[in-house]
A and B are shown apart, each in its own frame.
Chain A
């Protein structure tokens, strides 16, 4: 009897290719890892584990690893500065060429911007939002420090091939609605464990730009997903392997349909990303700080869209608008096209490209009783500063409208 080759999901295709054997959902495979990413927050631990536990003085393939200083960048304390000194020394010793110091930008943004990931690759990142690489149809996934150290020491690691949830997208976004709103809607619909141990594929978004794909792929982490993949169609300038693409008949654990024509701006209220309702439902919530930035929504199209809403308007009294471009390149482009000038005229403060206050360590953490409207990806208690502070999540458009009014505002109501 000849073997019938059943169609595969994007994850199954990529993990088959990386493991050298046909891999289907549920299989445990050992995969070659094409690219690794680590950042300042956890690299010191990786260095210690490599040296002290694994006894690896020199990683065998330093070109496989990209290192970033973005989480607390520039350093906020002597402890963080010392940790970064340790990283820079190690990077030098190892001969790591893909090193990106403070100010270059958020790791995930720069990885894609610089073409350090490619369609069909397996990418391990020392950060949960490594699913972002699915924007270019790479199998990007987050791992912990020891897992990363082991991967750097050996060049490979184990994975369970995930089942896949297919999101079938219909229509196009309404004016001022961002891919972030689709992501938040899905978090509300599926829950923050809705895709645990699974991958998410987005079908019907071949028209979406790279910025939007990054937002969607990155936010699948908030569904608990292992990877979030956008089929590599309509990806201009990226080389797509011939074996990679949507296969008719691939098996999905579940299919969810979303009609964008009926999707208004969404907001996630404290303290969970699944606590989602239309932005209009939060119209009486007063804010102290508005933060536009991060790997979720700090890209040029996000800043431009916010600037279009802020043009000729002013940030409300008593509200601080903090804008942190996702990368130096984004910052430069926003300077060149006048976006930054518009934001500054409206009263925005600009921070060093990087993660900003997203993880509550520096550059705009919130205090007791404060409310922040943020374009980031998490609003757990204490995530962005005081455990007595509140974080509402939404799109850059909703953030801009909220900054102008001082209360959470659906951008179409501005």
Chain B
């Protein structure tokens, strides 16, 4: 079972990880201690690997700091589900292998609810109901399966879309 961590709209990277707690200002080993340190201090203490974040639109807006999505990845967030993501955050998610789904479940799931995330379907199962998630394109599924774009590149020596592209 995965716990739902519910957030509102426009969650910015300064909330996810304030600049003052960047690995640059603290240390790489401590990254997992700081997600939502000011916005929601209990998050980092109670989050378990496999938990999911459900949020309103424009999740991850603000700075390009990759350590914001990486902090979520490091603590084991299995998926973030929001109607839309800020573009750099979305891109960083692909690079890192953090699964981001564009869907609005804020009205149907509750904070603290225990649900099942089915990555194959993909869907959320909660209290006898199934909430489908959008199927990512094939190339993105491959990237996720490899653990992110960097891992994909290391395995294949190229980017997933690269065939026939002039260097």
Contact B150 A150 (CB under 8 A): yes
Q: Tell whether A44 pairs with B88 under 8 Å between CB atoms, given A193-B10, A360-B19.
A: no
B57 contact set on A, CB distance < 8 A: 193
Q: Which residues of chain A are near B107, meaning CB under 8 Å?
A: none
Decide: B91 and A143 in contact? CB cutoff 8 A.
yes
Could you say which of B44-52, B63-71, B113-121, B122-130 contacts chain A?
Answer: B63-71
Chain B neighbourhood of A154, CB < 8 A? 153, 159
Do A30 and B58 have beta carbons less than 8 Å apart? no
With contacts A127-B64, A144-B95 known, is A54 near B19, CB below 8 A?
A: no
Q: Evaluate contact between B167 and A32: CB separation under 8 angstroms.
A: yes
Residues of A within 8 A of B76 (CB): none
Complex CA gap A113/B153 in Å reads 35
Contact call B88/A53, Cβ cutoff below 8 A: no
B64 and A192: CB pair below 8 A?
no
Binds B, one of A5-13, A237-245, A381-389: A381-389
In angstroms, Cα B40 to Cα A387, docked, is 12
8 Å CB interface, B119-167 against A: 139, 148-150, 153-154, 159-162, 165-167
Are B58 and A193 in contact, CB atoms less than 8 angstroms apart?
yes
Q: Separation in Å of the B66 CB from the closest CB of chain A?
A: 3
Contact status A44-B20, CB under 8 Å? no
B150 contact set on A, CB distance < 8 A = 49, 53-54, 146, 149-150
Bound-state CA distance A404–B154 (Å) is 57
Question: Nearest chain A CB to B13's CB is how many angstroms away?
Answer: 8
Contact of B159 among A32, A80, A157, A361 (CB under 8 A): A157
Cα–Cα distance between A142 and B159 once the two chains are bound (Å): 19
> Is residue B18 within 8 Å, beta carbon to beta carbon, of the partner chain?
yes
Query: Is there a chain B Cβ closer than 8 Å to A62's Cβ?
Result: no
Q: Across the interface, which residues of B come within 8 angstroms of A224, CB to CB?
A: 58, 61, 86-87
A180-195 CB mask vs B (1 if < 8 Å, else 0) is: 0000000000001100
Q: Does A41 have its Cβ within 8 Å of any Cβ on chain B?
A: yes
A45, B61: Cα distance in complex, Å? 21
**In the assembled complex, A109 has its CB within 8 A of some CB on chain B:** no
B161 contact from A30, A130, A143, Cβ within 8 A: A30
B42 within 8 A of A: no
Q: How far is the CB of B96 from chain A (nearest CB, A)?
A: 7
Residue of B nearest to A361 (CB): B19
Residues in B with CB closer than 8 Å to A378 are 12, 14, 62
A196-B84 contact given A30-B162, A383-B14, CB 8 Å threshold: yes
Kindly state whether residue A145 has any CB partner on chain B within 8 Å: yes
User: Which residue in A32, A193, A359, A382 is a CB contact (below 8 Å) of B38?
Assistant: A382
Cα–Cα, bound, A262→B84 (Å): 33
A192 touches which one: B61, B148, B149, B165 (CB < 8 A)?
B61
The answer to the question of A77 belonging to the interface, with a C-beta cut-off of 8 Å to chain B, is: yes
Cβ–Cβ contact A41 & B161, under 8 A? no
Q: Is the CB of A272 within 8 A of B10?
A: yes
Q: How far is the CB of A95 from chain B (nearest CB, A)?
A: 22
Q: Smallest CB-CB separation from B23: which chain A residue?
A: A45
Contact assessment for A77 and B64 in the assembled complex, using a CB-CB cutoff below 8 Å: no
- B152 CB to closest chain A CB (Å) equals 10
- Residues on B with C-beta less than 8 A from A145 are 66-67
The digit string for A33-53, where 1 denotes a CB below 8 A from any CB of B, is 000000011101100010001
Smallest CB gap from B19: residue in A: A359
One of B22, B38, B88 near A143 (C-beta < 8 A): B88
Measured in the bound complex, the distance between the Cα atoms of B39 and A380 in whole Å is 11
B24 CB to closest chain A CB (Å) equals 6
Q: Given known contacts A128-B88, A224-B61, is B153 in contact with A381 (CB within 8 Å)?
A: no
Q: Note all chain B residues with C-beta closer than 8 A to A263.
A: none
- Whether B25 is near chain A, meaning CB under 8 Å from some CB there, is yes
- Residues from chain B with Cβ under 8 Å of A156 in the complex: 159, 165, 167
A256 within 8 A of B: no
Identify the interface centre among B39, B95, B149, B162: most chain A CB within 10 Å of its CB: B95
Quick one: CB contact mask for A54-85 with B, threshold 8 Å, 1 for yes?
10000000000000000000000101100100
Other A-B pairs beyond A32-B167, A156-B159, A193-B84, 5, CB < 8 Å: A29-B161, A41-B19, A41-B65, A144-B69, A359-B63
Which 7 A-B residue pairings sit nearest by Cβ, starting from the closest?
A: A144-B66, A193-B58, A144-B92, A30-B165, A142-B64, A20-B166, A128-B64
Task: Jot down 12 A-B pairs with beta carbons below 8 A, ordered by A.
Answer: A32-B167, A54-B153, A146-B148, A150-B153, A192-B58, A193-B84, A196-B85, A225-B87, A361-B20, A378-B12, A380-B15, A381-B39
Q: Which residues of A contact B (CB under 8 A)?
A: 19-21, 28-30, 32, 40-42, 44-45, 49, 53-54, 77, 79-80, 83, 125-128, 130, 142-147, 149-150, 154-158, 192-193, 196-197, 224-226, 272, 359-361, 378, 380-383, 387
